[in-house]
Amino acid sequence: MQFMLLFSRQGKLRLQKWYVPQADKEKKKITRELVQTVLARKPKMCSFLEWRDLKVVYKRYASLYFCCAIEDQDNELITLEIIHRYVELLDKYFGSVCELDIIFNFEKAYFILDEFLLGGEAQETSKKNVLKAIEQADLLQESETTFASSCVKLIL
Amino acid sequence: MSDVVEKTLSALPSLLSLDSNAGAGKLSSTSKLGNLIRGITELTSKHDEEKLIKKELAAIKEQVASPNTTMRQMKEIMVRAIYCEMLGYQASVSYIHAIKLAQQGSVLEKRLGYLAVSLFLNESDEFLLLLVNTVLKDLQSTNLNEVCMALTAVSQMFPKDMIPAILPIVEEKLTHPKEVIRRKAVLALYKFYLIAPNQVQHIHSKFRKALCDKDPGVMTASLHIYLQLVKESPESYKDLTVSFVTILRQVVGGKLPMDFNYHSVPAPWLQIQLLRILAYLGKEDQGTSEMMYDVLEESLRRAEMNHNITYAILYECVKSIYTVYPKAELLEKAAKCIGNFVLSPKINLKYLGLKALTYVVAQDPNLALPHQMTIIECLDHSDIIIKRATLELLFRITNAQNVTVIVEKMLEFLRQSSNDYSTVDLVGKVAELAEKYSPDNGWFVQTMNSVFSLGGDRMQPDIPNNFLRLLAEGFDSVEEDRQLRLFAVDSYVLLLQGETASLPQCFLQVISWVLGEYAHLRPDQASDPGKVMRLLTRLLDQRHASAQTRRWILSALTKLCSSPVSIALARDVGERYFGSLDTVLRQRAHELMILSQDAGLRGRVLSAEGRLEHVEVDSSLSFLDGHVSEALAAGAAPYKPPHQRQEELAHEKALSLEPYGLSLPVSLSTCSITDRLTDRQSPTRLSISSSVSGNSTELSLKGGSTTLKLDGVKRVWGKEGYLVQQPKEVVEETPLPPTELPSPLGSFQSPVSQTQTASPGPEPDQERQQLASSLFVGVGTHHSVCLMGRTEAAPQRFRRKPKGTGSSSGTSEHSSNSSHSSSGTAAGNTLDSTTAATGQQISQHALGHPPVNGNPIVETPGPLPPVRDGGVAAEIPTGHTDSGTLADPNEDPVPVRPRDLPLISHLPAELSGLARSKLTTLCPGPDPGLALSSCRVYKEDALVLVVFVSNNSDSTLHRVALRFTSKQLEVSCVSGDLVEEVKGHSVATCQYAVVMMRASVDVELAGLVSYQRVPGQPRATPFSLRLSLKHFIRPLTVSTGEYGKMWLSFSHDVKQNLRLITAGDQSPLTATLDTLRDRLHLHVVDIIGSEGIVACRLLRGQPCLLHCRVHADSLAVWLRSPIPEFPDSLLYHCQKALAEA
């Protein structure tokens, strides 16, 4: 996979992950072009685009578009399922996810993505394992906060 | 789509309704990020947003700089910085702090720090170097979370040259008890493999261990590496086929834990990965393919549930089945499966069905027939992507009978499409089809007109070029040619009479050329000679015509001015453009003026018969030879090519405008500014110092400046004037089999009576049925079953006429070319039957040369170098091997051509396995009974020159001895210095080891063969051959460290810019270095970012190091060696190799 973009119906970028290095200028250009093309497409149209020399697979979930660029040899349908699996993961993690969750907690969305896809390849396809990894890291956060707050109390 | 997905879809909108409490609620109301986001949402204009973000970034800048900011606050700042970046604003001040956060923060802060780094930085970013230590520390941490984070970061981006620093620790993690660590380690290694394959070469065995890991997750991860490895060299991994098949069988059989199921399909990602690997392994390999038939069939069978994911597997499976060695039964099932895709009401599946069909019709056009109706529906689909895919499919099934309909559909699409990328692609395809299958002239010209007007100026330049060449070179029948040209002229005249503003420049140029060249074919040209002229003049004056186009038009006008009317017009035009600011235009206008005033000149230049004669262009300007050699003799400076001049000009200024890059401390301390200024090759970058020994620059100045100048020109001009050059090219091509000749027309018999193809499915309306019959006419039916490959059976209408028979075209070079190649093959054929035959005729024919004494292909455009007694003929064969890529060492092992056989079979056994050059004939001599041929064999430690002495007469030769004399070469005899006797019709071989004493570009090796036909009466014949530096270069295998040391110790350096080669998906640097490596036997030590280091050595001599760096679109090369002349000569060969590539 070359990159993944999440953007809203209004064309606002919500998340971007580039697996192949691109210059900032190029990133902006690609994003702008792609957002325009995808938003212009009608719901009944197919989820695949041939765009420049890449294949783009996109899917809309409520107000969010998930959009992946893959290479010529890659399987379009499985990419669609990667998107779906990611949505499932987000949904499970946030408990029925919505766009606002992703806007305000985008770093979490990134963490989940990093556990699921690494370097552009599916890293862990078992939903349970991905969530386990995330929870572990999060647990740490909570214990740390409680520890910190108890410290504060002690000092006071 | 499956029910599950549908359900999710329908449930989501309600969940995702913009209920402000849902997400925001989780965030504390005081959060700065929350405020920022809310602030932005409230804004209405882009301008306000910009202002707000500017303010935010200023605040961030202030906060990160403050020493009081805690890591915890820093984390919060980072989140905001990421947000700003996502909105498209640079938050570069925070980059360094992201690294700091990853370095110093607690686990949580570290996590965010790593995330920020991975989002902010590219893998080429120099900031990343600062992260190396942190990663190293975290990898060794006892905290699993930290190890995970470090591995995650490493698998996303890591500086390539720092991989060795952490590689051992990552390797170690492959045996970690935790599977998540093992998995991430495997993926990190995968990443390393992608960016620096040679760094992980030694751990391939560990990949195998990962493949056998008990955890399916780790095993899946290892498949990414294997997919890459197998793709690159399937041969090396055939032994793993059984393992992959077994794994796939287990997965398909549901042996994996339920966790890995996705919508109750077992591990689909794993399955697809395996199917792709199997496809690569089984491609064109029957044995391997047979091992996987069963499991492929099982995959097809098992994937039956109606869900997207099963379709994904099916699709991959079909692709694999069509890629591996075909098995009829499986193909049938796969074809049925494709049918399911195509007929599916779901648009995504339909699209993939079309894709799959496109993929398979190449093998069996019949497969498209059952889906005619669907294809026609898709052709009118509202979704442009589906339409485009359909056209792609149609393109593959085009033949002479349906070409008009299909091209019409394509053009229709092009008229609507606005996408540049697909337009350029499709226009090329239309042009290809038109040229291949055109039914008649009118259609062809019309179609090409559409191509030019739709394709515009973005299309591939070879489309207009091919078209013009086709018109110019013509076909078999003169009448046909005339008609086609006339058609084109008529249609262009018509076009020019209308509105021309909308026509692209490149079309206008085509029009001008054709009108200029062929307007005389018009019947009304005689009665109204000014008509075309007036049209062109009108075009010339229009504002939308570019300067380039105007030049074309003026050339056309020049060709047209023959009648009194047009002369008057021409004079008028000439006067108007006489003072044009564009120099080319002005020159053409001058020419036009002079031509219109001088009737005699007109008669000579524009005679009616002259059109048919091909103008011999002496591209080497040999008529100036005398003048040049006089000038040279009088002490003029030799010619330098423009790039070299520019280079030197740039050096003279000495002040480099390019910024200095990173430099090693040593270079800064020892480099004085004066050195830099006097150095003729002013370095653009101090990456490695040039002046460790104080006088190095001075020396290189002396050594370099004289030799280099000569090197660049030696090829064409010598002291004696023009050096024989042209014959080289001619001879070089002669031994080639005549592949370029088009296949004979008769090879294709297309049944015309195939208009009635059965169309299954529901009754479609009349119109569609008609369309179907016109689209699918002639498809498939006559290729009953052709599983392997596409049969190239096309009645090429516009076959190019075999060159050489033509009168109007085909240079003499070409004609001699084709006649030679045919004689070459004829000889080859004879050889097949009479391989055992000996004698001079065979060996000479075999080499593709006619008897050398009367060599007709030698055109000597200038005075010959008087050095060689052997004369012309001795020069040709040498040039032929030296100039051509065919004779290049990298092409080894040279496939044994039948024509080489008789002599090559005499090659000593110990040399036969080694790389060698082709045979060259050495010595014509006055004695037809004696023939000498030579061949270079590239041994690791020597260049062996094998000389074959063939005695073609009946009598025996006695005391055959070879003597070599050369100042620059040391020739020592290995065997056969003196052969007592060579019997009639037999061959003796002599071997010599040759060493170049002093590096130079080319060396002449003169020799003398002495022999006695009648004992006691010695005779001798001189001969000579040319050896080039590149024959003596061998790769020098050193490590980067050793290279660095050597670099500093060498004193002679030369710097030059070379051109970069672009090839496929490789980076230009890699492609260029690979070309150099292949052609010159260099060793690429390492490639780091935009720099590469390369090493080589002279046989039994000193090394030379190259340091290459990509700079804009050229390659700045810096060569260093202990001997002064080596870098210069090598540089010359590098230039040559790149120019030939």
In this structure, of B460-464, B812-816, B1075-1079, B1081-1085, the range with the lowest mean pLDDT score is B812-816
Longest dimension (CA), chain B: 114
Whole-number Cα distances in Å, B1053 to A72, B664, B938, B1045, B1047: 45, 18, 28, 15, 10
Contact B932, B947 (CB under 8 A): yes
Question: How high is the pLDDT of residue B305?
Answer: 67
* CB–CB contact B112 A122 (8 Å): no
Mutation site for A-interface testing, chosen from B1, B5, B9, B15 by largest number of A Cβ within 10 Å: B15
Q: Which helix (H) or strand (E) holds B1106?
A: strand B1103-1111
User: What tokens appear for B356 in the block?
Assistant: 């799959």
More confident site: B235 or B728: B235
Question: How high is the pLDDT of residue B722?
Answer: 47
pLDDT in tens, B115-152: 999 888 887 788 888 888 889 999 998 888 889 889 99
* CB–CB contact B347 A125 (8 Å): no
Question: Which residues in A lie closer than 8 A to residue B117 (C-beta atoms)?
Answer: none
Question: How high is the pLDDT of residue B835?
Answer: 37
The chain B residue lying nearest A94, using CA atoms, is B23
User: What tokens appear for B457 in the block?
Assistant: 């100026």
pLDDT in tens, B78-105: 888 988 888 888 888 888 888 888 888 8
Question: How high is the pLDDT of residue A141?
Answer: 60
User: What tokens appear for B894 in the block?
Assistant: 């040279």
Residue B423 has pLDDT above 80, yes or no: yes
User: What tokens appear for B537 in the block?
Assistant: 């003049």
Question: How high is the pLDDT of residue A105?
Answer: 86
Residue in B23, B180, B276 nearest the CB of A101: B23
Show the CA angle centred on residue B983, arms to residues B982 and B989, nearest 5°. Answer: 35
State the count of interchain CB pairs (< 8 A) between A and B: 199
Q: How far is A30 from chain B (nearest CA, A)?
A: 12
Q: How far is B1094 from chain A (nearest CA, A)?
A: 26
Q: How far is A67 from chain B (nearest CA, A)?
A: 15
Residue B652 has pLDDT above 70, yes or no: no
Sequence-distant (≥ 6) Cβ neighbours of residue B826 within 8 angstroms: B845
Question: How high is the pLDDT of residue B660?
Answer: 52
Q: Please tell me the distance from the alpha carbon of residue B485 to that of residue B479, in angstroms, as a whole number.
A: 10
The chain B residue lying nearest A51, using CA atoms, is B421
Local confidence band at B607 (pLDDT 50, 70, 90 cut-offs): low
Show the CA angle centred on residue B606, arms to residues B602 and B609, nearest 5°. Answer: 135
Question: How high is the pLDDT of residue B72?
Answer: 81
The chain A residue lying nearest B109, using CA atoms, is A141
* CB–CB contact A78 B309 (8 Å): yes
Whole-number Cα distances in Å, B612 to B478, B483, B768, B1040: 12, 16, 49, 62
Question: Which residues in A lie closer than 8 A to residue B9 (C-beta atoms)?
Answer: 61
DSSP for residue B283:
B
Contact B689, B666 (CB under 8 A): yes
Q: How far is B71 from chain A (nearest CA, A)?
A: 14
Binding-face residues of A in 42-81 toward B, CB within 8 A: 42, 44-53, 61-64, 73, 75-78, 80-81
The chain A residue lying nearest B145, using CA atoms, is A137
Binding-face residues of A in 2-31 toward B, CB within 8 A: 13-17, 19, 21-24, 28
Question: How high is the pLDDT of residue B1077?
Answer: 85
Give me the tens of pLDDT residue by residue for chain A, a chain 156 residues long: 899 999 999 888 999 999 888 888 889 999 999 999 899 888 888 899 888 888 999 999 988 999 999 988 889 999 999 999 999 989 988 888 888 888 888 888 999 998 888 888 888 777 788 888 888 777 766 555 554 444 444 444
Question: How high is the pLDDT of residue B1024?
Answer: 80
Contact B711, B1131 (CB under 8 A): yes
Question: Domains in chain A, please, with CATH?
Answer: 3-154 (3.30.450.60)
Number of H helices, E strands in chain B: 47, 20
Mutation site for A-interface testing, chosen from B42, B77, B86 by largest number of A Cβ within 10 Å: B86
Question: Which residues in B lie closer than 8 A to residue A52 (C-beta atoms)?
Answer: 421
Local confidence band at B661 (pLDDT 50, 70, 90 cut-offs): very low
Question: How high is the pLDDT of residue B21?
Answer: 40
Question: Which residues in B lie closer than 8 A to residue A17 (C-beta atoms)?
Answer: 119
Q: How far is B466 from chain A (nearest CA, A)?
A: 25
Rg (CA), chain A: 18
Residue B915, SS3? Answer: strand
Residue B73 has pLDDT above 90, yes or no: no
DSSP for residue B409:
H
Q: What is the pTM of this model?
A: 0.60
Strand partners, B990: B947
H helix intervals, chain A = 24-40, 76-94, 99-104, 106-116, 127-155
Q: Please tell me the distance from the alpha carbon of residue B245 to that of residue B233, in angstroms, as a whole number.
A: 18
ipTM, 2 decimals?
Answer: 0.89
Binding-face residues of A in 110-149 toward B, CB within 8 A: 110-111, 114, 118-119, 121-129, 133, 136-137, 140-141, 144
Question: Which residues in A lie closer than 8 A to residue B348 (C-beta atoms)?
Answer: 46-48, 76-77, 80
In this structure, of B202-211, B241-250, B320-329, B876-885, the range with the lowest mean pLDDT score is B876-885
Binding-face residues of A in 81-100 toward B, CB within 8 A: 81, 84-85, 87-88, 91, 94, 96-100
Q: How far is B57 from chain A (nearest CA, A)?
A: 18
pLDDT in tens, B1039-1051: 888 888 888 788 7
Q: How far is A136 from chain B (nearest CA, A)?
A: 8
* CB–CB contact B108 A144 (8 Å): yes
The chain B residue lying nearest A108, using CA atoms, is B112
Whole-number Cα distances in Å, A109 to A14, A80, B29, B114, B198: 10, 18, 20, 14, 35
Q: Please tell me the distance from the alpha carbon of residue B367 to that of residue B649, in angstroms, as a whole number.
A: 64
Q: Please tell me the distance from the alpha carbon of residue B631 to that of residue B627, in angstroms, as a whole number.
A: 6
* CB–CB contact A77 B309 (8 Å): yes
pLDDT in tens, B205-264: 888 888 888 888 889 889 999 999 999 888 888 888 999 999 999 998 888 888 888 888
Local confidence band at B613 (pLDDT 50, 70, 90 cut-offs): low
The chain B residue lying nearest A125, using CA atoms, is B260
Question: Which residues in B lie closer than 8 A to residue A140 (C-beta atoms)?
Answer: 107-108, 145
Q: What percent of chain B has pLDDT over 90?
A: 4
What one-character-per-residue DSSP string does B191-207 give?
HHHHH-GGGGGGGHHHH
Q: How far is A151 from chain B (nearest CA, A)?
A: 15
A106 touches chain B (CB under 8 A): yes
More confident site: B11 or B290: B290
Q: Please tell me the distance from the alpha carbon of residue B648 to that of residue B863, in angstroms, as a whole number.
A: 31
User: What tokens appear for A44 in the block?
Assistant: 């009944």
pLDDT in tens, B362-417: 777 788 888 888 888 888 888 888 888 888 888 888 888 888 888 888 888 888 87
Q: How far is A29 from chain B (nearest CA, A)?
A: 11
User: What tokens appear for B350 in the block?
Assistant: 């339909």
Mutation site for B-interface testing, chosen from A102, A107, A128, A138 by largest number of B Cβ within 10 Å: A107
Whole-number Cα distances in Å, A44 to A60, B158, B345, B348, B381: 12, 42, 11, 10, 11
| Range ranked top by mean pLDDT from B8-22, B462-476, B765-779 | B462-476
Q: How far is B115 from chain A (nearest CA, A)?
A: 8
Residue in A80, A101, A118 nearest the CB of B308: A80
The chain B residue lying nearest A6, using CA atoms, is B86
* CB–CB contact A129 B23 (8 Å): no
More confident site: B982 or B433: B433
* CB–CB contact A78 B350 (8 Å): no
